[in-house]
Structure 1
Amino acid sequence: MHRHRAWAQGSGAGGLGFEGGRESRGRPRRASEDHPRVIPTLATQEGDRPRKKKRAPARPTRWSAVAPASTSNLGPGFDCLGLALRLPMRVSAARIPSGFSIRRLGEGSDLAIDPQHDKVLGAFRHLFRIAREPVPTVALTIRSEIPLARGLGSSAAAIVAGLTLANHWLGGPYARDEIFREAIRLEGHPDNVAPAIFGGLTLSMPRLDGSVEALHLRVPRDLALTLVIPALHVSTEKARALLPSSLPLPFAAGNTARAMALTHALSTRRFELLAEALRDVYHVPYRARLIPGFDRVVEAGCRAGAYGVTISGSGPTLLAFHAPRLGARIGRAMVRAFARHRVKARAAPGRIATKGAVARTHL
C-alpha cells in the first residue's frame, strides 16, 4: 500500500530575493524579510499527498441463517437415522431497541405464536445464555418451506436455525458438535437435528458417557426419493404417545437386523432389500393408525415402482425410495390412493441437502 504525505510549501532556499519590487543583492536575505524559511523534509522530497482518514469498518445490520428440513427414522432407524432435505427454513435477524418481534412468511405464516414460545427465538436466546452473554433484542423474519406437523423436521430446523444464528452473531465460539449437543437438549432426540446441522444422511450413535456422535452415511446417487404429503397434521407428541413402552425381545432384535440391512442396502446399492429393510415394529404400525388408507397408499407406491415406502418421521408424510425418473409416476399413484380414502395429498421430490445449516452477516 502506498503511503501519502503532505507537500511542504515555501520559497526556494537559493536564488534571487525581491524587496519592494527591486532585486536585493549583496547581503543574505533574512527569513523575516520574506516568507518563513522551510527546511525540505522527506515529505517534500517524496512528493506525497495529504493522507486521507480511514473509514471505520461497516457495522453489520442483519444476520441470517438457513437450516434444511429432514426425514427421520427411515423405517427401523427409530430416533437415530435422519436425512436432510432441500426444503429450507431461512431466518434473518435485525437489532431493535427493545423487545422481540417475529414475522413469518411461507409455511406457518398463518400461525399466531407468542414470541416467548417460538422455537427459533428460544434457541437463539438459549445459546446466548449458555455463553453468558447479554441476549440482544431482535426482530426475526422466518421464511419456511417446511410443512408443519408433517414429519419433515420443522421443529428441528427451527432449533438449529436459531442456534446457528446465535453462534454466528457471537463470532462462532461453538463447534458444530457443540451446537449438536445443545440442539439435542432442546429437541429431546437427535434424529432430525443431526441432518439439519451436518447435512446428508446421519446416524446418531449414543455413547456410554451420555453424549451422542453423528456419523455420516453415504446415499447412492442412483437412488431417488418422493415425498407424499397428505393434508393432515400430526403432532410429534401425539404420535409418540401411541408408541408401546416395551416390545418382545425377538421383535427388537429383528428391528435391529433390518436397520443394519438398510444401511447395508444403501452402501452396496442392493435396492431389492429395501422393501424388507424398511419394515419396522417400533413406531410405524402405531403411527399408521393416524394415516387413513396407509396400507393401500404404500401398496400403490410399490406397484408403481417404489423399492419401498415408509413414514417420514412421526408422519403423516410418506417417503418412497425408487429409481430415478420414476418419482412422478409413484407420486401420482400414491396421491390417487389417498384420494380414494378422501384425503387430499400432494407429491414432491425428496431432494437431499448435502450441507447442513449455515449463517452469514449482512452489512
Structure 2
Amino acid sequence: MGVVRTIVFPALRLLVWALIAVALLYIAFVRGSGEDTEAAASPSAVVDPPAAAVVRGDVTNTVSLQGSIQADPATTVKATATGVVGKVRAEVGDDVEKGTPLFTVVVTTEPPPATDPLAPPAAPTTRTVTVSATVPGTLATLDVLPQQAVTVGDAVASVSPGTLTVSAPMTQAQQFRLLQPPSTARVTVPGGPGTFECTDLRTGTPATTPATPDPDAGYVDPYADPSSAMTGATVSCAVPAGVQVFAGLSATVDVTAGSATGVLLAPVTAVQGSVGTGTVWLVADDGAQVETQVSLGLTDGQNVEITQGLEEGQQILQFVPGTDTPAGQPGGGMYGMGY
C-alpha cells in the first residue's frame, strides 16, 4: 500500500494533468486556427434576389374609389335693386325656372332740388323691379317679407337644382393614375340600384395646401407609404336623372382611364417611378444588376406597361433595391411598391 500511495497515485495524477494540458493546447491552437474560422464564417448558401420576366399581356387602368352621394349646392339669388319689398310671388318649395318672378322691389327716387324756392316740392317717383330665379330648380329659401328694406347684393333666396353628385377623395397614387380622366365612371351604391354610369366626370384639387400638419388630425404612421396619403383632390360626377339614390349614401366609383392589349408588362414593385419614366434593374447573363431607364404607360396597380427600354423575356429584379420583399420571399416582410 505504501508503494501505491507514494508512487502510483502521484503518477496517475501527473498523467491526468498532462492529458488536460494536451486537450487545452489542441483547442487553442488547432480548433481555433484561421482555416476553421474562415470555413465557419463562409455562408453555406447564397440567396439571389427574386427576378421577374418582362411579358406581354393586357392592362386596364381602373381606379376604384370610395365616396358618397352629395346634394348639389343651391344657387344664391341676390337683390337687384335697393328699396322696399312689394309683392312676394313665390313660396319655398315651388318649382321654378330661370326667370320665374320671386318678389318685387319698390324703388323710390327723390326728385332733384327745386330751382324756384316758392314752387311746391315735387313728389318722389317710384318704379317696380322684379327679382327672379337665376337657375331652374326648387326654391329652397326665400328670406324676404312685404315692406322689408333690401339693398342691391343682399342674399334674399336660394334655388336648389335638385340634382345629386357622387364625390370621392383620391390618394396621391390614384391622382397620378388619373392625369387624363375619362368623362364617365361606373358607380355602385350598396343596397341601392344596380351599377350605373355617372356623367360629367371632373377632378378637383384643393384651393390651398396647409403649410403645417393639423395637430388634431390624429396619429400619422411615419412608416406609411406616402403615395397612400390623401391629397385633398376629389373625383366627382353627376348622378343621371331617374336613378333612385339619396344624399349621404356611400358609393364605390370605378374610373377606367385607358386600356391596352398585347403590351410589355412588368410588376409595379420592380419599377422606381410612376409617371412617364422610371427605373428598373436588369439582370444580365452573368448575374449583374444593370440600372435601366424605361418609359411607362398604363398600370392596373399590379403591372405597368413598358413602352420603351426593355424587351420581352428579359429578367429584371422583382423588387426595387432597398425595399423590403413580401412575406414568403427571401428576407420577407412588408414591401414598398416602386410604382
TM class by shorter-chain length?
under 0.3
With normalisation by structure 1, the TM-score equals 0.19
- Larger fraction in strand: 2
- Larger fraction in helix: 1
Larger Rg: 2
With normalisation by structure 2, the TM-score equals 0.20
